[in-house]
Amino acid sequence: MPVVRVALDLPLHRLFDYLAESATSADIGQRIRVPFGRRERIGVIVSVLEHSPLSPEQLRSAGEILRDLPPLSPDFFKLCEFASTYYQAPLGEVILQALPGGVKRIDPPARRTVRRRATSGERVVPELTAGQAAAVAAIDVAQGFSAHLLFGVTGSGKTEVYLRLIEQVLAAGRQVLLLVPEINLTPQLESRVRARFPDCEVVALHSELAEAARERHWRAAFAGEAGIVLGTRLAVFTPMPRLGLIVVDEEHDASFKQQDGMRYSARDVAVVRAHQANVPIVLGSATPSLESWANALGGRYRRVDLPERANPEACLPTIHLLDTRKMVLEEGIGAPVVAAIEERLARGEQSLVFLNRRGYAPVLACPACGWVSGCKRCAANMVLHLADRRLRCHHCGFEARIPQACPTCGNQDIHPFGRGTQRLEAWLRERFPAARVLRVDRDSVKSRKQWEIVLERIHGGDADLLVGTQMLAKGHDFPKLTLVGVLGADAALFAADWRAPERLFAQLMQVAGRAGRAELRGEVLIQTQYPDHPLYAALVAQDYPGFATTLLREREQAGFPPYSYQAILRAEAPLMADAMAFLANASALSKMAECPDIMVYDPIPMKMARLANLERAQLLVESASRPALQAFLPRWREAIERVKAPARLRWHIEVDPLEC
């Protein structure tokens, strides 16, 4: 009797053999019902064998082979096998994670077809600028695999370049995968794509979709019915039989890195997928990641520049540094920012005050005994959310009521320290009573519908003064916004994370790029105690290439990525001693592998050492050779899997970590 080898969504680096009387080689890639333990699961057939290494008595009989869909293609398996090998994740987890929930359910709901949305308004195709035309001409979508880094200043019209390339690919009868980092960027881009291609089926794939909608969209892409797939990181695995182009917008964004389950970089997987499928890929950003910049310098990517804004009447905003050592701040805002806001209000223009810290205040504290509102479950403070009358941990979600007195000494005079967007919003409403103040953060905008309403208010001129976090820092085009005031940026200058300067520069460049995108001139005011810092000097000059060159030189001297390759073994347990002991054993196992090109560091507690009642520690592994690291990790992982660990200890390996 034929034997099917099945991938299941389990944290085991194993495939499972089952007897399947009706299976043939044509069923490879089909889903199948199989018994596992006391329940049934949906798996995917990865091969059909004549015989199994196991005896027939050890094999169980599989259930129904589900043939309502075509089998998953060899290209899909090839991509999943790469991700499984490179990121040290079980193949079954990779394959099943890439499928929507509806096709993995034992009793799937009734399905309906995708309804094409009606598009409103005329199809407007703007004339290309000279820079955009040169960029489109430089990217040949018909020549097979090529990787392009589209380096365009904010407002340079990178999206229009994407749309022109997409038009060429659709005309050739191929499909396009367009990846964006955030769900909140999807509605605006989706409406623009639909308006440009009214005769093409466009589907969105992201985590906020209902299960039934996600399955419908996935099926349309898999069947080749959808010409354009617009999605966030998980969409990189979507099977597309006629794939002709991949675009990764804002490729520098950390949101492309999955931080749980299989910890992969969607940007890097997209490059591998483009190479395997022999199609071009375009990575776009005003502040590319240093890895991509280094690839462009080394010739692996071709750099295409858009040095000017697309609107001929718009120019890059002027950036000024405000030395807070020489001014009095009121609720964290200096007089020059207040005066600039007043000017914009008088002219009927919009302003944005950027503070990347939500809530009312970062901490509630007692001045008498020093008590602070720490989280009971994490090594973090609970943030004061005054509007909800709650203390909330932004790491684990734990909430508590605001105490009426200090829990330690009984002092009733407890105070909020620091400020968040809620506190800033309250002060700005009081300071500018006639202004329409709109706060935009993850507390005020929790769903796609709320985000669409917020965007409509901003574009409709129903907001004079915006208070926002990084949600407003990227991808948005607000023609009436002419002023950006940045508060609290200095905290990232001296962070322990060696990637912090790169992230801060990108964040500030992105938020500065919201100003002056139309004919109205933009201005950016950054409050800082360190106006002479080289990062701010590069920011004022808007010199990303110079800043990137400096950072790459420093990283090369220090032996940091992209000049070395890293993986981290992380462990979490109720007791820190258990996590550290496990990592110490793993470190000893690494020495048995006899890999001279591998450096294994000592285990240490993580920066956030306690999260959700679990103690966390990590072990860094580094090599100057990517092949050497990739050869070492599977052998090391197999040795670790044989170690008996405490029952509640969990561990994982993360390759190319963003946080060390």
The per-residue pLDDT for range 185-199, each reduced to its tens digit, is 677 788 889 999 999
The token duo for 652 is: 């994982």
Measured in whole angstroms, how far is the alpha carbon of residue 269 from the centre of its chain?
13
**What pLDDT, on a 0 to 100 scale, did the predictor assign at position 110?**
62
* pLDDT tens string 455-470: 889 988 899 999 988 8
pLDDT at site 217: 95
pLDDT at 119: 54
pLDDT digits (tens, 9 = 90+) for 201-221: 999 999 888 889 999 999 999
- Mean pLDDT of all residues in 133-143: 95
User: With 80 as the cut, is the pLDDT of residue 593 above it?
Assistant: no
Query: Is 90 exceeded by the pLDDT of residue 260?
Result: no
* Stretch 84-108: mean pLDDT: 92
Give the number of C-alpha atoms closer than 13 A to the C-alpha of residue 554, restricted to the C-beta side.
11
Is residue 174 over pLDDT 90? Answer: yes
Give the model's pLDDT for residue 184: 73
Q: How confident is the model at residue 108 (pLDDT cuts 50, 70, 90)?
A: low
Share of the chain above pLDDT 90, in %: 74
- Output 135 or 22, whichever has higher pLDDT: 135
| DSSP three-state, residue 466 | strand
At residue 446, the pLDDT reads 79
Q: Are 573 and 617 in contact (CB under 8 A)?
A: no
295-299, 378-382, 565-569: range with lowest mean pLDDT: 378-382
pLDDT digits (tens, 9 = 90+) for 407-455: 999 999 998 888 889 999 999 999 999 999 999 988 888 777 888 888 8
pLDDT of amino acid 311: 86
> Average pLDDT for residues 17-23, to the nearest whole number?
93
CA dihedral 125, 126, 132, 136 (to 10 degrees): 10
Q: What is the pLDDT of residue 121?
A: 53
Q: Element (H or E) spanning 451, and its range?
A: helix 448-459
Provide the strand spans (E) within 459-603: 465-468, 481-486, 523-528, 565-573, 598-600
What's the mean per-residue pLDDT of the chain?
A: 92
At 312, is the secondary structure helix, strand, or coil?
Answer: coil
Q: Positive or negative, the Cα torsion across 293, 259, 215, 68?
A: positive
Checking phi first, is residue 29 left (phi over 0); if not, alpha (psi -120 to 50) or beta? left
The answer to whether residue 566 scores a pLDDT higher than 70 is: yes
Task: Select the highest-mean-pLDDT range: 146-155, 412-421, 585-594.
Answer: 146-155
d(CA 470, CA 83): 30
Q: What is the pLDDT of residue 118?
A: 53
- Strands (DSSP E) along 318-436, which ranges? 318-323, 329-330, 333-334, 350-354, 363-365, 383-385, 390-392, 399-401, 415-417
Report how far residue 589's alpha carbon sits from residue 88's, in angstroms, rounded to the nearest whole number. 17
Query: What number is the average pLDDT over the span 277-292?
Result: 97
**Who wins on pLDDT, 595 or 110?**
595
Choose among 506, 130, 474, 139: nearest CA to 304.
Answer: 139
Q: What DSSP character marks residue 168?
A: H
At 122, the pLDDT band (50, 70, 90 cuts) reads: low
CA dihedral 261, 446, 287, 264 (to 10 degrees): 10
Nearest to 621 by CA among 644, 649, 591, 577: 591
Strands 202-205 and 243-249: unpaired
Q: pLDDT of 375-395, one tens digit each?
A: 999 988 999 998 888 999 988
- Band (pLDDT 50/70/90 cuts) for residue 120 is low
Q: What pLDDT shows up at residue 109? A: 62
What are the tokens at 493? 């200058």
**Bridge-partner residues for 202, per DSSP?**
228
| Domains located in the chain, CATH noted | 3-104 (3.40.1440.60), 130-306 (3.40.50.300), 318-359+419-554 (3.40.50.300), 565-655 (3.30.70.360)
Q: How confident is the model at residue 160 (pLDDT cuts 50, 70, 90)?
A: very high
| DSSP H/E element including 243 | strand 243-249
Question: Is pLDDT of 479 > 90?
Answer: no
Question: 113: pLDDT confidence band, cut at 50, 70 and 90?
Answer: low
Output 311 or 20, whichever has higher pLDDT.
20
pLDDT at position 470 is 85
* pLDDT at residue number 43: 97
